[in-house]
Structure 1
Amino acid sequence: MAQRKRNPNGAGSIWQRKDGRFEARVYVPQPDGTRKRKTVYGNTWEECDEKRQELVRRDRQGIPTPSRSAKLSEWLPYWLDEHIKPNRKRTTYIKYEMHVRLYLVPLLGSRRLESLTTANVRRMLSEVTKQSSAATAKEAHRVLRTAMAAACREELISRNVVQLVPAPRVEPRELRPWSLDETLTFLEAARTDPLYAAFVLAVALGLRRGEILGLQWKDVDLDRRTLTVRTTLHRGGKLLYLDTTKNRRARVIPIPLMCVAPLRWQRLRQAEQRATAGKDWQRSDLVFTTRSGRPIEPRNLYRSFLRISSSAGLPQVRLHDTRHGCASLLFAAGVAPRTVMEILGHSQIAVTMNVYTHVSDGDRREAMGHMDRLLRRRSHAR
């Protein structure tokens, strides 16, 4: 009689059923963190053992193997906690969690991973577009596609059907950053505002809102006239927190003379506020703080920007549009594209060239003037 084969503890067991087939059961991790028993079958002992060993291998590698097909309402929270939170920036996690909570789970949560169809995805995109916008639907599409790609890598599904559905088309927003005269008008109107130095940095250096509010004095060298951008301030739910820059790289920017005096004024003003607050001062190294030393709410900086621009009678633009204006002014001054990319903190020069530069009517007329002179010269030569 053949000796009965035994498996190590925790590796499951195999036996022959009354119908002649072989059966194995192994406890495996689930997407929600629990462990459940999963059963596999084979026509021979060897076939069944091969399936059993695959379950054990996945268990030792920490790969979940659902005892039944997981629903999206189960998989998406697991994916956020195990894939996104440990490996991506906190801002990314917060944004993905919002899409999962507001759109993906309510609209697709009852669907199982392998039963999700292209029709389900299309209906979800249509509904999100109705509830919010095409831009939000496009972002939800990206979040779902990324989550399903992770399920493919963990071999929970054989294909990612979200890739078969095109994302909604979003019409590009028409941008018209302020002209040089409008920019100077804004700076003049903002001169008496407590956040004047912040607006000077936005206009002259093209800093992002979070980069301005996350700037620390240790990264400002007024003697050498350099500024290092390495942290950003963000609002995440009920918390304000500091994070690394968008591309995780610090960058050093030379400070133009027009920024030095406002920053010196900001340092003196903050010292007076610290003395007035006394023991109530919230100690930090941030350049821009409230009267008690706390970080400034990002929305409040934007509200101040809108209030000043409106009082000055300027066209309404976003605070972020000052980055576009900064890039356009730098290009108009003849600054090399690679240098502009480094100043703005882009990871790809294509972003600098395609998104953050704008040709004004004056530039177009000047270009056509050159063409007119060239063609006239040729005709006169004949």
Structure 2
Amino acid sequence: MKNPNGYGTIKKLSGNRRRPFVFMVSVNGKQKAMGYFATKLEAMAYQVDYNQSHGLHRLSDNKITFAELYARWLPKHIEYSSVSDSTIHGYESSYKHCVYLYDVPVAEIKYSHLQTVIDGMGSLSYASKKKVRNLLSLLFAYARKMEYTSHDFTGLIRIGKNKPVNPHQAMSKQAINRLWKLADKADVDIVLILIYTGMRTCELRNLKKTDINRRQKYIRITKSKTEAGKRIIPIASKIWSLVEARYSLQGDFLLCDESGNPYSYSRLSRLFSRVMKLIHGEKYKPHDTRHTCATLLDAVDVNDNARKMILGHARHDVTNGVYTHKNLRQLRKAIEKI
């Protein structure tokens, strides 16, 4: 992460260390370690305090730079909000696109500065631009709260229209039938489990065996990208034997490697591609399994509320979202229809 000149730097040391992150400053042309920390966030918090206490920040407190704002905001945001490691990584990736703003005082940032950041992302995806805009909105909300600025132009940022390069699609019945015929082949079971549960790939990768109730045959999703994603999914009888077979293998996760670590996204993507080649379904992507589940549920007239509960979609309607509660038995009846 780039910082303003003279602000010091944070590095991660190699090896298995209890405190792998080090904050360093330049003294007489040489880098000097000022402290070691267990996490990057602790190092960032110390960096801000160190520069402030030593009078090394170049601007007055109410004119902090964009980089200093980010360094102050992130630890506070994580402390008071429940955010996942992947979300934090997303913030860090989005921040790198804002290099144009790093040395600019927050109080002097105008709409043109913010739009320049987005325009500078060129042909990058709509989703990437949206993440950067969301980060800027969070930062300026914090800046206004702390009275670093009285302006917030983030609502004026334009990121264009969403034009999916690879729109998702549901798998055909023929493709699903071919999967069942090859169910004994390596990793085909993973694709079938995704189709008949509607899980996101990240939810399956994070799924621990302790999250599976074998007696009542359901999955409890405790880690998801949204709050609505935390839910219970009945395990359809069609895939129960597949889940049981995976459950009997070594490791704490339903899907894990030889060392007991959960599958990475890249590994799951690679095996998905291999399975798709077996059925000549190279056009399909991992997320298409969720669309397939949604399509199958819709085809058998599962009501919208039950479908959203199974898939982990938000329910904005007050009646459906608050007062209607589907029990496990009703959800199981819905999932068994497919």
- Same fold? TM cut 0.5: yes
- Measure, in 1, the Cα distance between the counterparts of 2:281 and 2:189: 19
Distance in 2 (CA, whole Å) between partners of 1:151 and 1:196 is 50
Question: 1:32 is matched with which residue?
Answer: 48
Native 8 Å contact 1:201 1:259 kept in 2: yes
In structure 1, what is the equivalent of residue 157 of structure 2? 165
Superposition pairs of residues 310-329 of structure 1, within 5 angstroms: 310-329=277-296
After superposition, the Cα gap between the structure-2 partners of 1:327 and 1:349, relative to the gap in structure 1 and judged at 3 Å, is farther
1:94 counterpart SS class: helix
Alignment of 1:99-118 (within 5 A): 99-100=94-95, 102-104=96-98, 106-118=99-111
Using the alignment, how far apart are the partners of 1:107 and 1:84 within structure 2?
Answer: 25
Residue of structure 2 aligned with 1:246, choices 217, 226, 246 = 226
Residue identity opposite 1:164 in structure 2: L
1:210 is matched with which residue: 202, 205, 224? 202
**Higher RCO by CA contacts (8 Å cutoff, separation 6 or greater):** 2
Aligned to 1:345: 312
Alpha-carbon distance change, 136 to 219 in structure 1, aligned in 2, over 3 angstroms: closer
Q: Which residue of the other structure, out of 132, 138, 144, is the alignment partner of 1:140?
A: 132
Residue of structure 1 equivalent to 2:93: 98
Matched, 1:330 2:297: yes
Identify the residue that residue 176 of structure 2 maps to in structure 1: 183
CA distances 1:146-169 after superposition (whole Å, capped 9, x unpaired): 211110111111120222223332
Structure-2 separation of matches of 1:86 and 1:218: 28
Q: CA deviation at 1:66?
A: 4.4
Q: In the superposition, relative to structure 1, how do residues 213 and 164 fare at CA in structure 2: closer, same or farther (>3 Å)?
A: closer
Instruction: Count residues in correspondence.
Output: 267
Decide which of 211, 227, 241 is 1:261's aligned counterpart: 241
CA offset digits 1:33-56 (Å, max 9, x no partner): 355699xxxxxxxxxxxxxxxxxx
Deviation sequence 1:202-231 (CA, Å, 0-9, x none): 010111112112222223233422222224
Structure 1 residue 87 corresponds to structure 2 residue 54 = no
Q: Deviations over 1:88-126 (max 9, x none)?
A: 4122221111111x211x121121111111111121111
Separation in 1, partners of 2:242, 2:272? 17
Aligned partners of 1:286 and 1:68: how far apart in 2? 48
> 3-state DSSP class of the match of 1:253?
strand
Asked whether 1:127 is paired with 2:94, we answer no
What does the per-residue CA deviation read over 1:133-156, in whole Å, with 9 as the maximum and x for residues that have no partner? 343223212211221111011111
- Call closer, same or farther: CA 1:125–1:182 in 2, change over 3 Å: same
Cα distance, 1:80 vs structure 2: 1.3
CA distance in 2, matches of 1:88, 1:159: 27
CA pair 79-176 structure 1, distance change in 2 beyond 3 A: same
- Percent identical residues: 20
Deviation sequence 1:269-296 (CA, Å, 0-9, x none)? x1xxx5xxxxxxxxx5212222343322
Paired position in structure 1 for 2:330: none
Q: Distance in 2 between matches of 1:331 and 1:80?
A: 41
The answer on whether the counterparts of 1:118 and 1:164 sit within 8 Å (CA) in structure 2 is yes
Assess, with a 3 A threshold, how the Cα gap between structure 1 residues 297 and 175 changes in structure 2: closer, same or farther. closer
The residue number in structure 2 matching 1:15 is: none
User: Per-residue displacement from partner, 1:290-343 (whole Å, max 9, x unpaired)?
Assistant: 234332222211110111102321142221111011001101111011001110
Given residue 205 of structure 1, which amino acid in structure 2 is its aligned partner?
A: T
Secondary structure (helix, strand or coil) at the match of 2:76 reads helix
Which residue of the other structure, out of 61, 64, 84, is the alignment partner of 1:67? Answer: 61
Distance of 2:279 and 2:214 partners within structure 1: 30
The 3-state SS of whatever aligns with 1:291 is coil
Specify the alignment match of 1:290 in structure 2. 257
Separation in 1 of the partners of 2:196 and 2:209?
18
TM-score, structure 1 normalization: 0.63
Per-residue Cα deviation, 1:1-53 (whole angstroms, up to 9, x for no partner): xxxxxxxxxxxxxxxxxxxxxxxxxxxx9992355699xxxxxxxxxxxxxxx
User: Between Structure 1 and Structure 2, whose CA radius of gyration is higher?
Assistant: 1
Partner Cα separation in structure 2 for residue 124 and residue 142 of structure 1: 13
2:302 alignment partner, SS class: coil
Task: State the SS of the aligned residue for 1:323.
Answer: helix
When normalised by structure 2's length, the TM-score is 0.71
Runs (5+) with no aligned partner, structure 1:
1-28, 39-64, 232-243, 275-283, 351-382
Q: Are 2:213 and 2:219, in contact at CA under 8 Å, matched by a contact in 1?
A: yes
Closer, same or farther: CA 111–188 of 1 in aligned 2, 3 Å: farther
In 1, the alpha carbon distance for the partners of 2:247 and 2:173 equals 28
